Amino acid sequence: MKVALAGIGKIALDQHVPSIAASPDWELACTVSRSGRVDGVEAFADLPAMLEARPDVPVVSLCMPPVPRYAYAEAALLAGRHVMLEKPPGATLAEVHALQTLAAARGLTLFATWHSRMAKGVPGAKAWLADKTITRAHITWREDVRKWHPGQDWVFEPGGMGVFDPGINALSILTEILPRPVHLTGAELEFPENRQTPIAARLQFTGAVSADFDWRQEGPQTWDIDIETDAGPLALRHGGNLLLIDGEPVEGGPEAEYPALYARMTELVSAGRSEVDLAPMVHVADAMTLGRRIVTDPFDF
């Protein structure tokens, strides 16, 4: 299947381009980006020009930040193309609902991807937890924003979500593996005094579930989920790519999240289905609604 990749920046070049190149199912037909390019691939500077020139490309995969993404998704769906959305799927919940309605009305596939759900330990964790009683769960998601988003000021602009940009990855795992849903009951959000979005967040949910997100961690990075149950502890490490039960590794392997996303898109398009689960984003919206604001030191890249 031919795919057009739009928004040629960090994640497109780090993950999408190699995953498409390695897949027997996909061909990178062209790119859409104001400045980004992929060697040897036809490049368009704007989406309308690509949609006009390449009616043979049925799928558009959108890799730009969430705020500009809606306009691209709407235009691609209106032009009869299936659409893949990077995470988080939009800047607001309502705009993703609008895309869902549009895709359904046109019989097109809309896939709101959550790459962390494709981590190696996630299906095993979900299966093991299905018949357990969870007594406590805690997420520790601490990374260095300068390493993962070098110079990307959009993460600190309205709609950029701040530390929830990585934190939503943890929430996408949590909402996938818990046997029963939880909801947010409180949050503390630390905003740098010169920025619009939080650099750290501490969240409380029903069911003794909590989360600690921080973007100021230098040195080793931490992407851990620890769950206590009536049958012993379960832990996910390395962003979900290693599963431990009772402290013993039971499942894991090299990270291959993006190839799995494109394999899933193949299945969805073939089956004429969409997949849009907004549960992780609901928790972020609730944290922004309920969160107590703490002003902290200014942050600059």
Active site residues: 87
239 touches ligand NAP (CB under 6 A) = no
The nearest distance, CB 191 to ligand NAP, in angstroms, is 19
10 touches ligand NAP (CB under 6 A) = yes
Q: Which residues, 6+ apart, have CB-to-CB distance to 178 below 8 Å? A: 129, 134, 137, 209
8 touches ligand NAP (CB under 6 A) = yes
178 touches ligand NAP (CB under 6 A) = no
* Interface pick for ligand NAP out of 1, 9, 275, 279 (rule CB under 6 A): 9
Indicate the DSSP class of residue 301. -
* Of 35 and 289, CB closest to ligand NAP: 35
How many residues in the shown chain lie near ligand NAP by CB under 6 A? 22
The nearest distance, CB 149 to ligand NAP, in angstroms, is 6
16 touches ligand NAP (CB under 6 A) = no
- CB-nearest residue to ligand NAP: 9
The radius of gyration of the chain from alpha carbons, rounded to an integer in Å, stands at: 19
The nearest distance, CB 208 to ligand NAP, in angstroms, is 29
Q: How many CB atoms lie within 10 A of CB 226?
A: 15
Q: How many CB atoms lie within 10 A of CB 142?
A: 20
Closest CA to 241 of 125, 137, 134: 125
For ligand NAP, the binding residues in 47-76 under the rule CB under 6 A are 63-66, 68
- Decide: 136 and 234 in contact? Cβ < 8 Å: no
**Phi/psi of residue 235, nearest 5 degrees:** -135, 140
Give helix 279-290 / helix 164-177 axis angle, nearest 10°: 130
For ligand NAP, the binding residues in 91-150 under the rule CB under 6 A are 115, 148-149
Q: What separation in angstroms does the CA of 112 have from each of 89, 267, 279, 281? A: 6, 14, 11, 11
Q: Choose the binding region for ligand NAP from 29-37, 182-190, 262-270, 285-293 (rule: CB under 6 A).
A: 29-37
Q: Choose the binding region for ligand NAP from 4-12, 244-252, 266-274, 283-291 (rule: CB under 6 A).
A: 4-12
Q: Choose the binding region for ligand NAP from 27-35, 53-61, 175-183, 291-299 (rule: CB under 6 A).
A: 27-35
- Decide: 276 and 82 in contact? Cβ < 8 Å: no
Three-state secondary-structure class, residue 282: helix
Closest CA to 38 of 28, 46, 47, 48: 28
Three-state secondary-structure class, residue 184: strand
* Interface pick for ligand NAP out of 33, 109, 197, 241 (rule CB under 6 A): 33
- Decide: 101 and 44 in contact? Cβ < 8 Å: no
* Interface pick for ligand NAP out of 81, 87, 117, 142 (rule CB under 6 A): 87
Q: Choose the binding region for ligand NAP from 3-11, 120-128, 237-245, 289-297 (rule: CB under 6 A).
A: 3-11
Q: Which residues bind ligand NAP (CB under 6 A)?
A: 7-12, 33-36, 63-66, 68, 86-87, 115, 148-149, 152, 165
